[in-house]
Amino acid sequence: MDEKILALFQLCDSNFPTGAFSHSYGLESYIQDNTVHNIDTFSEWLRVYIDEQLIYSDGLACQLVYQSLEEDDLQKVWKLDRLLTMQNLPRETREGAMRMGERMLHLVQSLYRIPVLSGYRKRIEEKQSFGHPAIVFTMVAHHLGVPNSTSILFYLYSVVSSIVQNAVRGIPLGQTAGQKLIRDVQTDLMEAVEAISNLGEEDFGIVSPGIELSQMRHERVNIRIFMS
Amino acid sequence: MGEWTGVLHLNAENRQGKTVAKNVYFQGAFKVMRPIYHDNSGRACYYLLNPGGGYLDGDRYQMKICLEENAQLTLTTQGATKVYKTPKQYAYQETEIHLQAGSYLEYFPDPLIAYQNAHYKQKNVIQMDRSATLLYSDIITPGWSPEGERFSYKTVQVLNEIYMDGELVVYDHLKLKPANQNLAGLGFMEGFTHLGSMIVVDKKINNAFLDELYYLLDQNTFDYRFGLSLLSVPGFTVRVFSNSTQDIEKVFSQIHSKISQEWYQIKPNSLRKY
């Protein structure tokens, strides 16, 4: 199991170049209007983002994609790719996810030979699918034989750790404060995986209206360090 | 599942430039009045009535609207949708809309007012041709309780699915649960009380149009806060926070007026009924 976990670690590493470092998922709008300005306000934002948006979109998608791969139901995977893209109403975060998904897919393809990844890439090239990092990540985890819940946990961790690093640069926060938060939020991530295991398709894509609105407002932010 | 509390089926067609109902069927606690023609565009306006006055425990409403080629319709309600307390079973409304080639639908229901301990679920599924036009809006108020307490309802869940030529193009899902969420707080309503959403799908919409809209709306007001963004198909979505229904309606009516005047040279009539 260690070698599989280690292999998945590589995808979670913040040096793994998917472009996540240039996305704030609406956080930058909060920073600019000074609602998020220190570690306390940022951790409040982060917990809302995880509990009210991430688990219902990327997190639940990880779970459903994994189950579909287990059942060899690729049509379902493609359906989830579309659902994940279309529920992402703010254009910047939607297009950002597509770009990250595609970059991750290209990179992973030079590391592994996974037939389903080639199929996914072909569909994206033919504009039948859109591409999303949660789906690419789950395809790799499933190929490696990592269990579903571990795969979800690792994926959530990779998203959250890159957001924290972006917050450290953007707010800015001290490096130590950032690392402390990554430590503290691990409990929340465990709980998030538990929460996701109790969700079904009917819960898909529930958004937190404020975070979504800030993602839309980000399009109009003039001076920016992040693309979303 | 069980019986419907109210059913409305409306099928409209364009007859020599005038939109008329081909079939209207309603039953139970749903009703439409005779159409009104506000101008000489031929566009019919239907007012939806809930003779029961509000949604009760376990109520289930179904609406099916079909616009045939080039039909043009405005659909609105006669007053706010009130959902009373639902101790046993949530109240539910589902709407199925079919928009055929060149058709145009404006669906602007009045605000939703969920009473203390109300649980309400609404699902709109829209199937449209890529040459059709859709304008949709909804407003969720903080509800009503005898003590004047805000957000005293149990759950309000609103799901909108739009399919274009059979493919999903919009999936908009909100589920507000005040007991589990800090609705007034960060990430939710950011200190506001009312939430408005609007979706417009039309092949004429592009980035330049969205820019014009953005500058048309007041960005510096404290009365409301809005976000708008392009969809993955020609169209856009708007979210507005404010502290009153009127402020949100003002934003929506500015958008509606711009579209009506630029595309149809129509000055829209007020749909207000009081």
**CATH value at residue A53:** 1.10.4190.10
Mutation target vs B (from A213, A215, A219; most B CBs, 10 A cutoff)? A213
Q: What is the pLDDT of residues A108-167, one digit of tens each?
A: 999 999 999 999 999 999 999 999 999 999 999 999 999 999 999 999 999 999 999 999
Q: What is the largest CA-CA distance in chain A?
A: 47
SS3 content of chain A, % helix, strand, coil (to 5): 75, 0, 25
Distance CA B247, CA B244 (A): 6
* Domain layout of chain B by residue ranges: 6-264
Between B169, B187, B214, which is nearest A48 by CB?
B187
Q: What is the pLDDT of residues B163-179, one digit of tens each?
A: 999 999 999 999 999 99
**pLDDT at residue number B78:** 92
Mutation target vs A (from B121, B160, B171; most A CBs, 10 A cutoff)? B171
**CA of A216: which chain B residue's CA is closest?**
B227
With an 8 Å Cβ cutoff, is A212 touching chain B?
yes
Is the predicted pLDDT of residue B270 greater than 80, yes or no? Answer: no
Q: How many CB pairs lie under 8 A apart between chains A and B?
A: 89
**pLDDT at residue number B206:** 96
Site of tokens 């940022």: A42
Between A45, A211, A216, which is nearest B228 by CB?
A216
Angle value at C-alpha A184, between A183 and A189, nearest 5 degrees: 90
Is the predicted pLDDT of residue B247 greater than 60, yes or no? Answer: yes
**CA of B121: which chain A residue's CA is closest?**
A202
Residue A122 belongs to some domain of the structure: yes
Residues A101, A136: contact at Cβ < 8 Å?
yes
Q: What is the pLDDT of residues B35-66, one digit of tens each?
A: 999 988 999 999 999 887 899 999 999 999 99
> Could you write out the DSSP letters of every residue in A33-88?
TTSS-SHHHHHHHHHHHIIIIIIIIIIHHHHHHHHHHHTT-HHHHHHHHHHHHHT-
Single-letter amino acid, residue A167: A
The 10 Å CB-count burial string (b at 16+, else e) for B160-170 is bbbbbeeebbb
Residues A228, A214: contact at Cβ < 8 Å?
no
* Across B83-101, average pLDDT: 97
Mutation target vs B (from A45, A89, A94; most B CBs, 10 A cutoff)? A89
**CA of B237: which chain A residue's CA is closest?**
A89
> Could you write out the DSSP letters of every residue in B184-197?
TSTTTTTT--EEEE
What's the gap in Å between the CA of A90 and the closest CA on chain B?
A: 6
Peptide bond into A172 cis (omega under 30): yes
CA atoms within 13 A on the CB side of B186: 21
Is the predicted pLDDT of residue B142 greater than 80, yes or no? Answer: yes
Angle value at C-alpha A14, between A10 and A18, nearest 5 degrees: 85
Q: What is the pLDDT of residues A202-228, one digit of tens each?
A: 999 999 999 999 999 999 988 899 999
Residue A155 belongs to some domain of the structure: yes
Is the predicted pLDDT of residue B273 greater than 90, yes or no? Answer: no
Q: What is the pLDDT of residues A169-215, one digit of tens each?
A: 999 999 999 999 999 999 999 999 999 999 999 999 999 999 999 99
Residue A111 belongs to some domain of the structure: yes
Which chain A residues have a beta carbon less than 8 Å from that of B140? none
Cα separation of the two ends of chain A: 36
Pull the structure tokens for residue A214.
Answer: 């800030």
Distance CA B177, CA A201 (A): 18
Contact B229 A219 (CB under 8 A): yes
For residue B272, name the pLDDT band (cuts at 50, 70, 90).
Answer: low
Single-letter amino acid, residue A49: Y
**pLDDT at residue number B268:** 80
For B164, phi then psi, to 5°, come to -115, 125
Cα separation of the two ends of chain B: 37
- Strand B18-28 to strand B31-32: parallel, antiparallel, or no bridges (unpaired)? unpaired
Residues B153, B116: contact at Cβ < 8 Å?
yes
Is the predicted pLDDT of residue B274 greater than 60, yes or no? Answer: no
Contact A209 B174 (CB under 8 A): yes
Q: What is the pLDDT of residues B98-117, one digit of tens each?
A: 999 999 999 999 999 999 99
**CA of A209: which chain B residue's CA is closest?**
B188
**pLDDT at residue number A48:** 97
Residues A62, A152: contact at Cβ < 8 Å?
yes
For A95, phi then psi, to 5°, come to -70, -30
Residue A197 belongs to some domain of the structure: yes
**CA of A128: which chain B residue's CA is closest?**
B167
- Strand B119-128 to strand B155-164: parallel, antiparallel, or no bridges (unpaired)? parallel
Which chain A residues have a beta carbon less than 8 Å from that of B185? 48
Distance CA B82, CA B55 (A): 6
Count of domains forming chain A: 1
Nearest partner of B229 among B249, B207, B250, B248, judged by Cα? B207
Residue A3 belongs to some domain of the structure: no
Looking at this predicted complex, what is its ipTM? 0.96
**pLDDT at residue number B258:** 95
Contact B171 A217 (CB under 8 A): no
Q: What is the pLDDT of residues A30-66, one digit of tens each?
A: 999 999 999 999 999 999 999 999 999 999 999 999 9
Pull the structure tokens for residue A88.
Answer: 């992402």
**pLDDT at residue number B1:** 54
For B207, phi then psi, to 5°, come to -60, -40
Which residues constitute the domain of residue A105?
39-217
**pLDDT at residue number B263:** 87
Q: How many of the other CB atoms lie within 10 Å of CB of A155?
A: 26
